[in-house]
A and B are shown apart, each in its own frame.
Chain A
Amino acid sequence: MCLAIPGRIVEISADNQDSALVDVVGVRRRIDLGLLHDDKPVPGDWVLIHVGFAMSRISEQDAADQMSTLRMLGEIEGAMQEVQGYGLEHAEVVIEAAAESDRSKAKVN
């Protein structure tokens, strides 16, 4: 059972800094933060939980970046079809370059 799922930190135990209550879609569970000493989460943060321990902080920024990359993928597909309709050669390369520049802009923002 090597499942790991995301949960949101609700509160950190007053008498034990390593014990936290997390919320996973409305289910609350007590987990151990002992493996995140170098990167202590605070209430509101998201963590990845595996066998009752937080393994890693989940970066909302990285997740958002990933989602926008994925959405752009869909747009690339649409753009591809349009451009191919014009009979342009090397369309793939052109579109990829445009997407790459979009991705770098998203990261900077």
Chain B
Amino acid sequence: MREGSTREESTTTPAAMSVESAPVRFRDPQIEMAHGAGGKASRKLVEGLFAPILFGGNPGPLGDAAHVDINGTRVAITTDSFVVKPLTFPGGSIGELAVNGTVNDLAVSGAKAEALVVSYVLEAGLPTSILEAEVRAMAKAAREAGVRIAAGDTKVVEHGKADHMYVTTTGIGRLIPGVTIDPGSVRMGDKILLSGPIGDHGITILLARGELDLEADLRSDTRSVLPLVEALIGAAGPGLRWMRDPTRGGAATSLNELARDCGLGMVLFEDQIRVRDMVRGACELLGLDPLHIANEGQFLAVVSPEYSDAAINALSMAPGGDEAQVIGEVREQPAGTVLVTTLYGGSRIVDMLVGDPLPRIC
């Protein structure tokens, strides 16, 4: 779930009176899997129910983290829950996702994670060895990401009430100087960058479930993107407008949200978007679009044209950034929409994810 706007200046909550009477625009009678999939339904739930009650008034575009002011110091804070089945998969496990996911949410909001707190909801009957393995995985991921796990909480629920374990991490971080993430600053002509190949994580999870008779030598791309973000900010900070880590809902959902928030069009060049052959093959077999598949180790950035070369150079020289590409441009039209063009002049609109093709992947 996305938290409050990065443009909020104050920490004060809305007046109690308006909280109780805040109008809820969310009309669905019950919660469906789609509401957690990261696509349109998720956004409707957040904008229509959570935001009016919790953030009140008109909070503006919702970002990956909230920036709050504590007596003159601005800090970034974010939270994320991880529900994934199976718990371990090629390339990682829930523990790593839980650390990297929150570090990444802070990174793409322009902040360096300082500390995490973690809460576990464990299913009775969970073998201790599995819990220990995940806690070790979290410790390792935290060390690699340069972040402290400062505190935690545990609850146990009856057998059958949690898929082995649910993990929630909340992260707090310091804002990186020299960068302001603001969809409102995006302009026509800005370049859209992507840090690497998309679709690895979601497809890995799908295959790891073993429900389909598919095998491939694929791994989740889970990693901290902070080093890449720092490299990008170092080289192109003044021209950096916006970043996001495209998790559930995929790159298409993130870019659609940006298009809506800034009122401009995102035009992508299909041949520039890196997708591993195996991911492409699995998507073809299953009728899925790589642009809708979750990623756990990539991020999107919008950079002004003057800085875009420097940005790509810095990324490609940083470890793990060798597959970074300019994948498109911001145009005036088609406004509020993501358009993908092909080499031979064809084009198609890519919408936000509708429904939930890959339940419980991160």
Direct contact of A and B (CB under 8 A): yes
- Which residues of chain A have a CB within 8 Å of any CB of chain B? 1, 3, 5, 24-31, 49, 52
Question: Are A29 and B287 in touch, CB under 8 angstroms?
Answer: no
Question: In angstroms, how far is the closest chain A Cβ from the Cβ of B277?
Answer: 5
A28: chain B residues at CB < 8 Å are 214-216
A52: chain B residues at CB < 8 Å are 213
The CA of A5 and the CA of B281, in the complex, are separated in Å by 9
Q: State which of B213, B214, B215, B284 has its C-beta within 8 Å of the C-beta of A5.
A: B284
The CA of A28 and the CA of B287, in the complex, are separated in Å by 16
B282 contacts the other chain (Cβ, under 8 Å)? yes
B251-307 interface (Cβ within 8 A of A) = 277-278, 280-282, 284-285, 287
A49: chain B residues at CB < 8 Å are 285
Question: Are A1 and B287 in touch, CB under 8 angstroms?
Answer: yes
Question: Are A29 and B277 in touch, CB under 8 angstroms?
Answer: no
A-B contact count (CB 8 A): 39
The CA of A1 and the CA of B212, in the complex, are separated in Å by 15
Q: Is the interface of A mostly helix, strand, loop or mixed?
A: strand
Chain B's interface size range is 10 to 19
Question: In angstroms, how far is the closest chain B Cβ from the Cβ of A9?
Answer: 15
Interface-centre pick from B216, B217, B278, B285 (highest chain A CB count, 10 A): B285
Question: Are A24 and B285 in touch, CB under 8 angstroms?
Answer: yes
B287: chain A residues at CB < 8 Å are 1, 3
Q: Which residue of B lies closest to A49 (CB)?
A: B285
Q: Which residue of A lies closest to B217 (CB)?
A: A26
Question: Are B277 and A26 in touch, CB under 8 angstroms?
Answer: yes
The CA of A1 and the CA of B283, in the complex, are separated in Å by 13
A24: chain B residues at CB < 8 Å are 281-282, 284-285
The CA of A49 and the CA of B282, in the complex, are separated in Å by 13
B213: chain A residues at CB < 8 Å are 29-31, 52
Question: In angstroms, how far is the closest chain B Cβ from the Cβ of A27?
Answer: 4
Interface-centre pick from B216, B217, B277 (highest chain A CB count, 10 A): B216
The CA of A24 and the CA of B217, in the complex, are separated in Å by 12
Question: In angstroms, how far is the closest chain A Cβ from the Cβ of B25?
Answer: 34
* Residue-wise interface mask of B (206-239) relative to A, using a CB-CB cutoff of 8 A (1 in contact, 0 not): 0000001111110000000000000000000000
Q: Which residue of A lies closest to B214 (CB)?
A: A29
B217: chain A residues at CB < 8 Å are 26
The CA of A3 and the CA of B283, in the complex, are separated in Å by 11
Q: Which residue of B lies closest to A28 (CB)?
A: B215
B277: chain A residues at CB < 8 Å are 25-26
The CA of A28 and the CA of B312, in the complex, are separated in Å by 34
The CA of A29 and the CA of B212, in the complex, are separated in Å by 8
Q: State which of A1, A3, A26, A30 has its C-beta within 8 Å of the C-beta of B281.
A: A26
Identify 22 residue pairs between A and B in the complex whose beta-carbon atoms are under 8 Å apart, listed by A's number. Answer: A3-B285, A3-B287, A5-B284, A5-B285, A24-B285, A25-B277, A25-B280, A25-B281, A26-B216, A26-B277, A26-B281, A27-B214, A27-B215, A27-B278, A27-B281, A28-B214, A28-B216, A29-B215, A29-B285, A30-B213, A49-B285, A52-B213
